[in-house]
């Protein structure tokens, strides 16, 4: 990069002449290097699936955390810097509990997502800090129905019927564009998400490194047991 651009390159609070914040763009690059995550909304809930990308046979797959419970009706999958994601998840959990204690009701999914994104945005505006290098797929069910949001290091948010983050986003989103349909069952949504994740994964999807989280209007957010998730993955991509 040219020396004249270094001031814009290093400072989070300075726009470049063409209106860019380079540090925010670099944070997005950190997300693109992360493992692929996908989320799919179905008739009564939302499915989140992540590829943990186990790089060594010595690693215990269950020690890699990519899906988190925020509240009983909200869960989250992360791509990018997991340590950054944990800090955001901890804050989101506190916000959810404060809302319940204050108003005696569960926080709405969109309200929580906005609070997380407002917090992320402040880290693009003040000196001495850096943006969070993580993108969150936040899934939940409230009185408005199933909701799925994608958040950006800049603090931007977008609601989707199906979405993906991480290194395989383009392949997964292209698959969703062609194959997503309304009013799917939970199993259909899981199978669609696994196919999309497989499209976005370099090489064959590893059943041992795949984690599935589900939230439904009739059941709290939970992570499907490893043996059952392996069964789903083998059923969908076992023959590929």
CA dist., res. 194 & res. 5, Å (int): 42
CA dist., res. 240 & res. 221, Å (int): 30
User: Nearest 5 degrees, angle CA 80-CA 154-CA 55?
Assistant: 5
Q: How distant, in Å, are the alpha carbons of 36, 108, 194, 240 from that of 199?
A: 10, 32, 9, 11
Distant-in-sequence, close-in-space partners of 15: CB < 8 Å, separation ≥ 6:
8, 21
Question: Which residue shows structure tokens 């509990």?
Answer: 97
- Per DSSP bridges, beta strands 37-41 and 45-51 are antiparallel
35 annotated active-site: yes
Question: Which residue shows structure tokens 């690059």?
Answer: 29
Rg for the chain, CA atoms, rounded: 18
Contact 214, 73 (CB under 8 A): no
CA dist., res. 14 & res. 30, Å (int): 20
- Three-class SS state of 71: strand
Of the residues 35, 37, 78, 201, only one is catalytic, namely 35
CA dist., res. 119 & res. 124, Å (int): 10
- Under the phi-then-psi rule, with left for phi > 0, alpha for psi from -120 to 50, and beta for the rest, what region is 108? beta
Residues that are catalytic: 35
């Amino acid at each position: 990069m040219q020396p004249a651009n270094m001031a814009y390159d290093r400072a989070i609070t300075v726009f470049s002449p063409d209106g860019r914040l380079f540090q925010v763009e670099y944070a997005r690059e950190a997300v693109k290097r992360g493992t692929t995550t996908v989320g799919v909304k179905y008739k009564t809930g939302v499915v989140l699936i992540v590829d943990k990308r186990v790089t060594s046979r010595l690693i215990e797959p269950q020690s890699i955390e990519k899906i988190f419970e925020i509240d009983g009706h909200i869960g989250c999958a992360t791509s990018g810097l997991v340590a950054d994601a944990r800090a955001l998840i901890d804050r989101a959990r506190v916000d959810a509990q404060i809302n319940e204690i204050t108003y005696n009701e569960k926080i709405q999914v969109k309200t929580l997502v906005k609070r997380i994104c407002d917090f992320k945005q402040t880290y693009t505006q003040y000196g001495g800090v850096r943006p969070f290098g993580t993108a969150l797929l936040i899934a939940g069910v409230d009185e408005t129905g199933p909701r799925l949001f994608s958040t950006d290091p800049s603090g931007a948010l977008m609601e989707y019927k199906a979405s993906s983050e991480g290194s395989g986003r383009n392949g997964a989103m292209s698959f969703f564009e062609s194959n997503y349909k309304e009013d799917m069952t939970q199993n259909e949504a899981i199978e669609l998400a696994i196919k999309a994740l497989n499209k976005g994964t370099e090489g064959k999807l590893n059943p041992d490194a795949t984690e599935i989280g589900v939230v439904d209007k009739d059941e709290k957010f939970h992570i499907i047991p490893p043996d059952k998730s392996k069964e789903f993955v083998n059923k969908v991509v076992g023959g590929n």
